[in-house]
Amino acid sequence: SQQGEEDPQALSIQEGENATMNCSYKTSINNLQWYRQNSGRGLVHLILIRSNEREKHSGRLRVTLDTSKKSSSLLITASRAADTASYFCATKIIQGAQKLVFGQGTRLTINP
C-alpha cells in the first residue's frame, strides 16, 4: 500500500526557476528518501533525511522534513531541462525492516 501522497502530481516550470515538491506520509518513519526516475528507467537516489533531521542540502537540492506534520519537501533550485523526470519520496517505516514505501510521485517538466 502507498504510504502517502505527493503534490503536485504534475509540475511544469521554465528552466531556471525553482521547483518544489511535497510529500506527506502516514506512519512514523526512520528516514525519508527522495528518488528521481526518468521515463521508463530505474530509480536514482537523490537524498536521504533522517527522522531527527529537519533540513538537508545536496548541490541544488534542498530537502526539509517536518515529522510533526508528517511531511517533507524537495526543492530543486535553478532547474535545468535535464531535471525533467518523475520524483518520488519513499519512507522507511520504523517497524518495516528495510522496506521502502513510495509516494505517488510528481512528474516534473522543465521547459527550455
Partner 1 sequence: GAVVSQHPSRVICKSGTSVKIECRSLDFQATTMFWYRQFPKQSLMLMATSNEGSKATYEQGVEKDKFLINHASLTLSTLTVTSAHPEDSSFYICSAPRSSYEQYFGPGTRLTVT
Binding window for partner 1 (CB under 8 A); candidates: 18-26, 52-60, 75-83, 94-102: 94-102
Beta bridge partners of 71: 24, 66
Establish if 104 lies at the interface with partner 1 (CB under 8 A).
yes
Establish if 1 lies at the interface with partner 1 (CB under 8 A).
yes
Cβ-contact 103, 21 below 8 angstroms: no
Establish if 47 lies at the interface with partner 1 (CB under 8 A).
no
Cβ-contact 77, 18 below 8 angstroms: yes
- Shortest spacing between CB 102 and partner 1, in angstroms: 5
Establish if 69 lies at the interface with partner 1 (CB under 8 A).
no
Cβ-contact 75, 20 below 8 angstroms: yes
Cβ-contact 86, 107 below 8 angstroms: yes
Establish if 40 lies at the interface with partner 1 (CB under 8 A).
yes
> Distances from the Cα of 90 to the Cαs of 8, 32, 60, 99, 111, in angstroms?
16, 6, 20, 9, 26
Binding window for partner 1 (CB under 8 A); candidates: 21-29, 51-59, 69-77, 102-110: 102-110
Binding site for partner 1 (CB under 8 A): 1-2, 31, 33, 35, 40-43, 45, 48, 88, 97-105, 107
